[in-house]
Structure 1
Amino acid sequence: MPYLDERRARVARALDLHDELLLVGAGEPIPLPENSDQTYPFRAHADYYYLAALECPGGVVALDPRDGETSGWISFVPEVTEAERVWEGREQPPGTPLAQLDEWLASRAGRPVLTFGAPVPRAGLAADAAASAAARTRFVHARRAKDSTEIALIRRAADATAHGFSALVAALRPGVTERALQVELECGFARAGGRRPGYGTIVGTGPHAAILHFDPSERAARDGEFVLVDAGAEIDRYMADVTRTYVVGQATPFQRDLYAIVLSTEQNAIARCVAGAEWKAVHLAAAVEMVDGLVQLGLMRGSAESLVEQEAHTLFFPHGLGHLVGLGVRDGSGQAPGRAKDPRAGLRSLRLDLPLQPGYVVTVEPGLYFIPALLNDPARRQRFHDCVNWDAVTPHLALGGVRIEDNVLVTTGAPEILTSAIPKPAP
């Protein structure tokens, strides 16, 4: 696979190793706890998959930088046993027999060893933990920018996701359960080529729409309620991550106003996703815009900028604006190399803190919620007594919330919305 050679060469340059050996493990299947001769579905560690493009239990990718940035890589794979062929239908993956890894290491004895991915169990193998962690930081940063193969897979996942959302919308009506909507959505993914959901599907109706990570239940949607859906299809380990919020039946003016604030904020935040933009600044600008909308609705009091500085926005917008996505739902997120996590409490949930670069695929997902656990908390009510019109907020505590999320490709020019085929109809 030519793209894999190019990818490995790029990683080798980013790691800048000289005498150190690198081992990246795939991991092993994990047995179910009840001794049923079954395992959890196997997924190779993302570090390994990125370098091997294989779901290979026990696999190891190794690098000897002395042998060159392309030819120095070698993929060791275990021999498939007769039992695995008979019971699982497994076939031998391409690569060098794993039994030769010990010989490979012995011929390079005395050189430093770095590891990441899943642990590589080898007797006497002593990896340098600090150097390994530093190398993995450089590795993660190197793979933040997606290559053309990765972007093509994310586009396919976005297309399958669009089919799933279309199926869900067709089933949306009073009386339909969250679980039934999940089934329609995920069947739509599968019919369009999705291998599986990329993460646990979220479908929340009514007050459940304010629960950030909600497992769909048998609750039935009622007329006039919000329905928040956060889901994405996965194809060859690459995925989309999309949120849409709907209203069953007729929306109230307040619901339409709340939705309009979030939609406008999302559109403006997407426009800011240009090369060189600091993600933290994009996040804070979105927070100010949404707080300004809440002030206009009479729910908050004061200057939007001041309210965000006081962290009052976290009452209604308690999460970060988004994260990187691709090979995993938060693929490559975190801080720029050498940057410490911002200690401010209001940025505790910010999953990304770096300047955007061409090739990054980022989620943009502003949201406003009425979360009783936050809004009924006495300490918060005291701290933000003058920031919030509590009498205006209390009647909406069972309303739920609104989140709108798209996946955006940063380019050398204007940002591209990869999930634009999924409508965002005004309620």
Structure 2
Amino acid sequence: GGEEQTRYCTDHSILFRQESYFAYLFGVREPDFYGAIDISTGKAFLFSPRLSEEYAIWLGKIPSLSYLKERYEVDETYYIDEMESVLSSLATGNENVLLYLLHGLNTDSNKFSQPAIFEGLKTFKSNLDILHPILTECRVIKSDLELNLLRYVSEVSSAAHVEVMRETRVGMKEYQLESTFLHYTYMYGGCRHCSYTCICATGENSSVLHYGHAAAPNDRTLEDGDMALLDMGAEYHFYGADITCSFPVNGKFTDDQRMVYNAVLRAHKAVISAMKPGVSWVDMHKLAEKVILESLKDANILLGTVEEMMEKRLGAVFMPHGLGHFLGLNTHDPGGYAEGLERPKEPGLRSLRTVRVLQEGMVITVEPGCYFINATLIPAMENSDTSCFINKEAIVKHQNFGGVRIESDLIVTADGCENLTNCPRETWEIEAVMS
């Protein structure tokens, strides 16, 4: 399991959140545990740190092994210093015990999970290749219990987004919107953690895809005429939501805001209507791009045929990120690139977090967006392959617009999908809530 961390060299502990694979198998909330499952019998073993008496003074009652066994519903509980002897006792005949250790690449972060290390490990044979892809594939298809947790946290997060809409006023700070969301999900949903850093972007900030980081800490003042893009999700018992709402901070859409918003909403609806088992996620991404490009052409922002725009990958100029990602214990849940699947190289498509065909039981976000980002627009206007499609006068008018993203969380069902997100999406619904 995960280890407790401190803030750099201090004794200030960072609030612990369990490593996701360990949470998936054992559900343990505390740090510094080990777990094992005997593949031949299915028996589950949990190994607890042997805590000192000082623990009881500072952190509370020391849990007994019997308590841990009952709480986490495992077959056996021991202390970590007993692990070598317990695992050795599982040997059959003269064969040494083979340990399958978790080690593999997360294709979203390009970081590797670190295999377990403990005293006595070298006395066992071990394999670092087999377990990770199997467990990752298990996590791709959610159980009924997992789906119920995701339904709950999506319900709480949706309600919190609605509360933020109601409370938004010109003159507030972006961080006040974040604060409203955090308070609501914890106060009324029992969600101590968020599943990721809140993105509370207004005005031009809404074109910064992962705004809200340390160098851009949701601190702008909301101005009349701004669009807000709020990407926030709570976490409950390790499972998270990931929802984005976009709306005018003054509660009334301008004609330009309505045009861009409805372009994204049409793409959002088109994808959800087309989703079902057997559908390619790459095709869904292209569908979203196509619908957005059609809307921008209708608004005279783009010129030419949409088919030619798609061939030249113009959609990536306005939506440089992928359409969505698996959701579960991680915001970007693993399994998007199973063995044999290669990441596309074309603009936009190379940002896809999965290229898989949809299967029943997958949970995936649908988050099309349309952004006016100088870092993508200027090169496109300077490139002869794409500049011919761009109405430069119209683009200049929208350069300070920012962006719109609409994100919902979906379960793939036997004949379609179930939308877990319950937020106002139509422009008239948003205006009614904000009034």
Determine if the TM-score, normalized by the shorter chain, exceeds 0.5.
yes
Query: Does the alignment pair 1:173 with 2:160?
Result: no
Q: Would you say the 8 A contact 1:336–1:355 is kept in 2?
A: no
Deviations 1:348-402 (A, max 9, x none): 2100111111111110000000112222347854552212222211221111111
Pick the aligned partner of 2:99 from 83, 108, 113: 113
With over 3 angstroms needed to count, the CA separation of the structure-2 counterparts of 1:49 and 1:257, relative to structure 1, is: same
- Describe the shift of the 1:302–1:379 C-alpha distance in structure 2 as closer, same or farther (beyond 3 A): closer
Residues 160-212 of structure 1 deviation map (CA, whole Å, 9 limit, x = unaligned): 11231122112112111101111111111112222221110111111011111
Partner of 1:414: 416
TM-score (norm 2): 0.85
2:35 aligned counterpart, secondary structure: strand
Equivalence map 1:5-404=2 (5 Å): 26-33=1-8, 35-66=9-40, 68=41, 70-71=42-43, 73-89=44-60, 91-92=62-63, 93-94=68-69, 95-107=77-89, 108=91, 110-116=96-102, 118-123=114-119, 125=121, 132-193=128-189, 194-215=191-212, 216-249=217-250, 250-377=252-379, 381-404=383-406
Identical positions, percent = 29
- 1:128–1:228: structure 2 CA closer, same or farther, 3 Å change rule? farther
Note the alpha carbon deviations across 1:387-426, whole angstroms, 9 max, x for none.
222221122111111100110111112311111x221240
Aligned Cα RMSD in Å? 2.1
User: Structure 2: how far apart are the matches of 1:181 and 1:349?
Assistant: 29
- CA separation in 2, counterparts of 1:187 and 1:209? 23
Aligned residue type for 2:308: S
Cα drift, residue 299 of structure 1: 1.7
Deviations 1:210-259 (A, max 9, x none): 11111143211111210000001111111111000001233221211111
**C-alpha spacing 1:84/1:366, structure 2 compared with 1 (3 Å):** same
Which residue number corresponds to residue 21 of structure 1? none
For residue 333 of structure 1, report the CA deviation from its aligned partner.
Answer: 4.1
> Distance in 1 between the 2:79 and 2:134 partners?
28
| TM superposition shift of 1:90 | 5.5
- Give 1:86 shift: 1.7
Q: How many residues align?
A: 396
**For the structure 1 residues 99 and 393, does the alpha-carbon distance in structure 2 shift closer, same or farther, using more than 3 Å as the test?**
same
TM-score by length of 1: 0.87
Q: 3-state SS of the aligned residue for 2:30? A: coil
Worse-matched range after superposition: 82-91 or 179-188: 82-91
Distance 2:22 2:265 in 1: 38
- Which amino acid counterpart does residue 247 of structure 2 have in structure 1? Y
Q: Does the CA contact (< 8 Å) of 1:243 and 1:405 recur in 2?
A: yes
- 1:111 deviates by 4.2
Which residue identity does 2:100 align to in structure 1? Answer: L
SS at match of 1:89: coil
Q: What is the alpha-carbon distance in structure 1 between the residues aligned to residue 356 and residue 225 of structure 2? A: 40
Q: Would the aligned equivalents of 1:270 and 1:364 in 2 still touch at CA under 8 Å?
A: yes
- Matches of 1:242 and 1:314 in 2, distance apart? 22
Gaps of 5+ in 2: 70-76, 103-112
